[in-house]
Amino acid sequence: MKKKTDTDWKRLEAMSDEDIDTSDIPELGDYFFDHAEQHSFHDEPLTWRQRFCLSLRLWFMWLPALIVFLGTCYFLWAESTLWLTDPILAFACAAFIALFATVIWFCILFGLGN
Q: How do the pLDDT tens digits run along the chain, 114 residues long? A: 477 778 888 988 898 888 888 888 888 889 988 988 877 766 667 777 777 777 777 777 777 777 777 777 676 666 656 666 777 777 777 777 777 777 777 776 666 554
Task: Answer whether 63's CB lies under 8 Å from 97's CB.
Answer: no
- Model confidence, pTM: 0.30
* DSSP 8-state symbol, 7: -
Integer angstrom CA distances of residue 104 from 74, 79, 84: 20, 26, 30
Q: Identity (one letter) of the amino acid at 70?
A: L
Integer angstrom CA distances of residue 21 from 14, 18, 25: 14, 8, 9
